[in-house]
Amino acid sequence: MPLDPSAIGREGPVHERSWTSKDALLYAVGVGAGLGDPSQELSFTTENSHGVEQQVLPTFGVLLAQARGVSIGEFNPAMLVHAEQEIRLHRVLPVEGTLRAQARVESMEGKRSGALVTSSSTATDADGTPLITTRSSIFIRGEQVESGAPATADDWAQPDREPDWEVTLATRPEQALLYRLNGDRNPLHSDPAFAARAGFERPILHGLCTYGITGRALLQSAMGGDPGQFRAMSGRFSSPVLPGDELTVRIWRHEGGADGAVLFQTLRGDGTVVIDRGRAEVGAPE
């Protein structure tokens, strides 16, 4: 059975998730917080440092908002890659809490070499107050589907000037082994034999780990280190990262865009763009 376009608009079951201070700390270390200088980013990596109140990295919300989806048909999962990710916060994430999340299939779009499937997830507090909205796309190579209305054209363009901020962050050789403890146990990120069958020289880093590292760079620079100024972030995964790679995030104020809008790209040390067409919004969640 191929992909099933009738899945568009279907919603999955409501999923309740709770998290603790420890979960937030593990995520922070999993995306490299404290690497190189453990005295930095203590508000995200510790809960008992003198004079430092624990805070939560905003991109942790991508994991918190994950919910069981609905069947979109049959396909070879080895042909699936994470294509795009967006997060929008409606409030600053608390150190611990409980939420309810529900996923929805938004669209299926046929491409030349496969199909792009986009889903969203909404997460609310137990009382129904909005907390997180996410949108993610997967690309399934070799699959085809009849497209509906064409997607809105993306007018993203790299500014013809030097970035306003440039942040370079390291990754650990064992970064994927740390990050997988947040729940993504795909052996592509840990098993050399599995990675070789997928065409990689060794296990690659989770795309959402690269996304979280990029979020740290945005937070440190354009957002002044304040999670209360992190409203939204989106980007397109364009190339894999190997654990141990150095990542540089180039960030531009979006001239002509909304107040607080920035554009960004994330590059490996060899100059390869690994997250492209990045956008973020600086300002209090709403």
Is residue 204 within 8 Å of 188, Cβ to Cβ? yes
Quick count: other Cβ atoms within 10 Å of Cβ 239? 14
**How much is the pLDDT for 148?**
58
**How much is the pLDDT for 146?**
76
**How much is the pLDDT for 258?**
80
What is the rounded CA–CA span in Å between residue 243 and residue 246? 9
Mind listing the pLDDT tens digit for each residue in 47-56?
999 999 999 9
What is the rounded CA–CA span in Å between residue 93 and residue 148? 36
Number of domains in the chain: 1
**b/e sequence 216-237, b meaning 16+ C-beta within 10 Å:** bbbbbbbbeeebebbbbbbbbb
Is residue 32 within 8 Å of 172, Cβ to Cβ? yes
Strand partners, 85: 136, 235
Is residue 189 annotated as a catalytic residue, yes or no? yes
Task: Pull the structure tokens for residue 39.
Answer: 């005295």
Ranges of residues in the chain with a pLDDT under 50 are none
Helical segments of 72-204, H only: 175-179, 192-197
pTM comes to 0.95
**How much is the pLDDT for 150?**
60
Tell me the CATH number at 245: 3.10.129.10
Mind listing the pLDDT tens digit for each residue in 64-108?
999 998 899 999 887 888 999 999 999 999 999 999 999 999 999
Out of 50, 155, 189, 245, pick the active-site residue: 189
Domain of residue 232 covers 5-148+155-282
Three state DSSP letters for 220-231:
HCCCCCCHHHEE
Task: Pull the structure tokens for residue 22.
Answer: 């420890």
Is residue 4 annotated as a catalytic residue, yes or no? no
Out of 50, 160, 184, 226, pick the active-site residue: 184
**How much is the pLDDT for 147?**
63
